[in-house]
């Protein structure tokens, strides 16, 4: 990489030239099994024919018009997303951070409509909502905030998976207008809350007329075996839900959906996005949703995800140094007792792409379309990498 690119990423020394399904090929011709999907973006794998066809046909017809005009594909996508989710309206943008910015603005506007001058949003420790100034502030990780102070006001933070803490914050802050939470913390280490956590937040928000805002940027679009992670709780519906990542399978698109108290808060002139929801990105997203439906990938992810989890437990469950193995659908977190960031490079040498988050958690987000052989290859390769790594640590510790 030349010095003309701003060094905002710690890049690995590899460049990919093409992708097909769950595999990427680098510029030297080496193939790699992608167990990360571009961090939950390429849910249908690389260059899925249906998405490629949709993008190609739309690009040859009409790429962009301003949101000053009606956009047919945007309307079709909004209809599809509201039908699948039970939400009422959708706003389209370019990324997860933009979607969460929209959610934060909805919360503030909702508060001002109620006569609250300084609205407060309750957010969680360990969360990740983006890197714009407002989403950076909402994010519960001080490492990403250092150097960017002063942060945005209007957020109060509580521990994740602690409903009593949320209740206490709602009681102590009369300016509270919303609770923003991830159904599963992805960047936070694949943390899955107790089964009643989201329902309890929903009940609290209903009682106090707070907006329940779910960040489904990573968990949405089939990643957990449901269209959206909140659907693991029958009857639960948020007031605001944000999406991105898997929605476009690589085409930049995000969405903020509203229902209940979140509906009709934003009016004409309150919010906008230049590229958001243009014909090209919406065509890709429609192809993604239709393909997941046509190929019945939600049930497939549920079944294969459970099988992979059981295989991981069989291979690593009793390994000293493995603290916990967690999963929901195709979100896997293998937490070790020691820092393991070096495993990313070790995996690359074994031609498999993985990620380590929160320093000690191996995060796996494979494409929803992997076959049985590829799933076994992921489990076997990652398990062997972990065993070798921990054995080396043990020897170093003794020495």
pLDDT in tens, 294-328: 999 999 999 999 999 999 999 999 999 999 999 99
H or E element that contains 189: none
Ligand-binding annotation for 179, yes or no, is: no
Residue 318 in contact with residue 336, Cβ under 8 Å? no
- Dump the DSSP string for 301-354: HHHHHHHHHHHHHHHHTT-TTEEEEEEETTEEEEEESS--TTHHHHHHHTTEE-
Q: Enumerate residues 6+ apart whose C-beta is below 8 A from 347.
A: 353, 354, 381, 382, 385
Q: Is the pLDDT of residue 86 over 90?
A: yes
At 70, the pLDDT band (50, 70, 90 cuts) reads very high
Residue with tokens 């459970």, as numbered in its chain: 306
Q: Is the pLDDT of residue 112 over 70?
A: yes
Ligand-binding annotation for 275, yes or no, is: no
**Residues 9-18: what's their mean pLDDT?**
96
**Residues 197-207: what's their mean pLDDT?**
98
Positive or negative CA dihedral for 92, 97, 102, 106? positive
pLDDT for 395 equals: 64
pLDDT in tens, 348-370: 999 999 999 999 999 999 999 99
At 3, the pLDDT band (50, 70, 90 cuts) reads confident
User: How many CA atoms does the CB half-sphere of 384 hold within 13 Å?
Assistant: 10
CA dist., res. 229 & res. 258, Å (int):
16
What domains lie within the chain, and their CATH numbers? Answer: 16-34+297-397 (3.90.1150.10), 49-295 (3.40.640.10)
Nearest to 128 by CA among 178, 184, 187, 180: 187
pLDDT for 396 equals: 65
Ligand-binding annotation for 203, yes or no, is: no
Tokens of 345: 């490079």
Angle subtended at Cα 335 by Cα 308 and Cα 247, rounded to the nearest 5 degrees: 60
pLDDT in tens, 243-294: 999 999 999 999 999 999 999 999 999 999 999 999 999 999 999 999 999 9
pLDDT for 397 equals: 65
pLDDT for 398 equals: 57
pLDDT for 1 equals: 61
Output the CA–CA distances (angstroms, integers) from residue 252 to 5, 143, 280, 287, 308, in the order listed.
20, 26, 10, 14, 30
Instruction: Give the single-character DSSP code of 152.
Output: P
**Residues 106-117: what's their mean pLDDT?**
98
CA dist., res. 124 & res. 155, Å (int):
10
CA dist., res. 241 & res. 217, Å (int):
9
CA dist., res. 130 & res. 187, Å (int):
10
pLDDT for 109 equals: 98
pLDDT for 393 equals: 80
Q: Is the pLDDT of residue 399 over 80?
A: no
CA dist., res. 111 & res. 120, Å (int):
8
User: How many CA atoms does the CB half-sphere of 203 hold within 13 Å?
Assistant: 9
Ligand-binding annotation for 29, yes or no, is: no
Ligand-binding annotation for 164, yes or no, is: no
Ligand-binding annotation for 273, yes or no, is: yes
Ligand-binding annotation for 131, yes or no, is: yes
H or E element that contains 105: helix 96-113
pLDDT in tens, 148-165: 999 999 999 999 999 999
Ligand-binding annotation for 217, yes or no, is: yes
């Amino acid at each position: 990489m030349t010095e003309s690119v701003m060094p905002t990423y710690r890049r690995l020394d590899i460049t990919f030239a093409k992708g097909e399904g769950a595999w990427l090929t680098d510029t030297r011709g080496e193939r790699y099994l992608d167990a990360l999907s571009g961090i939950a973006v390429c849910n249908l794998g690389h260059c899925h024919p249906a998405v490629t066809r949709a993008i190609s046909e739309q690009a040859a017809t009409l790429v962009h018009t301003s949101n000053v005009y009606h956009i047919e594909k945007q309307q079709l996508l909004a209809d599809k997303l509201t039908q699948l989710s039970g939400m009422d309206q959708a706003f389209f943008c370019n990324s997860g951070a933009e979607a969460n910015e929209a959610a934060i603005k909805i919360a503030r506007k909702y508060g001002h409509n109620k006569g609250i001058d300084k609205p407060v949003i309750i957010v969680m420790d360990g969360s990740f909502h983006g890197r714009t100034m407002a989403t950076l502030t909402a994010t519960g990780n001080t490492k990403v905030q250092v150097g960017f102070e002063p942060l945005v006001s209007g957020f109060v933070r509580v521990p994740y998976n602690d409903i009593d803490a949320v209740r206490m914050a709602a009681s102590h802050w009369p300016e509270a207008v919303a609770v923003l939470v991830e159904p599963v913390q992805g960047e936070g280490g694949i943390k899955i809350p107790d089964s009643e956590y989201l329902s309890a937040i929903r009940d609290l928000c209903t009682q106090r007329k707070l907006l329940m805002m779910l960040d489904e940027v990573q968990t949405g679009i089939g990643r957990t075996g449901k269209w959206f992670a909140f659907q693991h709780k029958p009857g639960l519906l948020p007031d605001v839900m944000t999406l991105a990542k898997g929605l476009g399978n690589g085409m930049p698109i995000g969405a903020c959906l509203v229902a209940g108290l979140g509906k009709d808060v934003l009016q004409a002139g309150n919010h906008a996005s230049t590229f958001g929801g243009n014909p090209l990105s919406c065509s890709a997203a429609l192809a993604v949703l239709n393909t997941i439906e046509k190929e019945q990938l939600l049930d497939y992810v549920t079944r294969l995800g459970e099988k992979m989890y059981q295989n991981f437990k069989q291979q690593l469950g009793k390994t000293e140094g493995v603290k916990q193995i967690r999963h929901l659908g195709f979100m896997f977190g293998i937490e070790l007792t020691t820092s393991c960031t070096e495993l990313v490079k070790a995996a690359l040498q074994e031609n498999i792409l993985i990620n380590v988050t929160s320093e000690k958690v191996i995060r796996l987000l494979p494409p929803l379309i992997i076959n049985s052989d590829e799933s076994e290859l992921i489990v076997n390769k990652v398990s062997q990498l972990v065993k070798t790594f921990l054995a080396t640590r043990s020897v170093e510790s003794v020495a």
